[in-house]
A and B are shown apart, each in its own frame.
Chain A
Amino acid sequence: MTIPADLKYTKEHEWVRIEGEKATFGVSDHAQEALGDIVFVELPEVGRPLEAGEAYAVVESVKAVSDVFAPVSGVVIEVNGALEDAPELVNSDCYGAGWIAKVQIAEGSVELLSDHKYSTFLEE
């Protein structure tokens, strides 16, 4: 189970990388492992405003459909189009090539956990 130290996490098993006014979203290693083989990702539209905690994408594995929630509020500025043809990138590289969306950050956030706190949360 990988939990990179430079990211923040949510209790819904998303990660967020905050760089100035921009943030990148994805799902954690724990999430992709629990979901199993991901065969479809429904991406948000660029320009869509997101509230923190809002379901903004859907990942579907062989057996399950799961919402993905925005860790912070913002407007979608870019989505990972590669996932349309290669949804398995979420399994193989969830913190890298398997990122889902980038937003221009606005005010508002769900509770964000450091890598240590997320690790503790997973153990509980």
Chain B
Amino acid sequence: MSDLAKTALFDEHLLLQGKMVPFAGFAMPVQYKNGALKEYTFVREGGAGLFDITHMGQARVTGPDALAFLQYVSTNDVSKLEEGQVQYSALLNDAGSFIDDITSYKISDREFYLCINAANRHKDVAHLLTQAEAFDVVFTDESDDTTLLALQGAAAQAALQPLVDGDLESIAYYKFAQVKVCGVDGIISRTGYTGEDGFEIYIPNSSAIATWKQLLANGAEAIGLAARDMLRTEMGYALYGHEISDAVTPVEAKLMWITKLDKGDFIGSEAVQARRISGAHKRLIALKLTARGIPREHYKVFVDGVESGEVTSGMHSPMAGGVALAYVKPEHAELGELAVEIRGKLVAAERTTLPFVRSNVRR
């Protein structure tokens, strides 16, 4: 663990008996004293769950070409984005497959803020720096200076409001504001990865501990990576390295809704267009076991007794039972008897719709 990076909150995690594990080069808490299930329940049942997700990367793009640059490197239509709005998007390579999925924050036509995945940070930054050479922009990796907290659950707003100099009520879903948090400039967006109402809070490392402690004092409870993964899987949200990777395009991953082929040329657009015509190599589905068991990542999925694909994310949902996202052959996306192979036995499953449990985000 000694070669792992530590967030500004490392000692706070230890104080709360966080079980630290290596994650994307960081030592991060997989769970705290009470365990993942209690943490999960706290977030789902009205609490304010506090997550240190500082391992994720942040970058800023500024300059006259900022909008044109982002239009070219990302899949979603950045011209539709209003100032103060957040957009879910992706970076593709020339083959149309994923470099990463990202969120873009529009500060102005000349300034955007990006949040990228921890595991992909250096790859993304290298790619974006190379692409930035052709545009009149300055691209800055701000990851090392930034602490990112997520505060998720029905009580999030009440716990956060006393720390902030603006009215959180005015920040709608997928909107953000540049505000003072504990007296220091930060960004707060009404976004998250749990399916609950809540916020993501970008602050300088220097105010991480004060903000963290204040939120705990306001009733928030620390939540680790295990519960975070449960909450995200129940929503069916894609995770890089699982549902999306450099082996699939948005056509396979059901992410054409963030891939706007009509916006003009962007990296990967031709390949995605070609894939759309030639057809998906495989299709992402949501399934639910109809017998007992837990479908887990890499377990094989069978359709009509023949191997068709594998689970990309699976879990025991306290509310929905054994649920999973899985890739299957395109012809099996809608038809055929599904089963998941668990320790050599086929366990019956059925297709279902996402999210696996009700989303409480504030739309």
Contacts and interface: CB of A to CB of B under 8 A. Distances in A.
B296 A65 contact: yes
A115 interface: no
A78 interface: no
Interface stretch (A3-11, A19-27, A32-40, A97-105): A32-40
A63 B36 contact: yes
Q: By DSSP majority rule, is chain B's interface helix, strand, loop, or mixed?
A: mixed
B343 interface: yes
Contacts of B30: 63
Nearest to A67: B343
**Count class of interface residues, chain A:** 10 to 19
A54 interface: no
A42 B226 contact: no
A122 interface: no
B35 A58 contact: no
B316 A40 contact: yes
Interface string B1-44: 00000000000000000000000000000110001111000000
Contacts of A36: 31, 35-36, 226
B230 interface: yes
Interface of B: 30-31, 35-38, 226-227, 230, 292-294, 296, 315-316, 318, 343
Contact of B316 (A42, A58, A60): A60
A62 interface: yes
Contacts of A65: 294, 296
A37 B227 CA distance: 11
A37 B292 contact: no
A84 interface: yes
Most chain B CB within a 10 A radius of its CB, from A42, A63, A84: A63
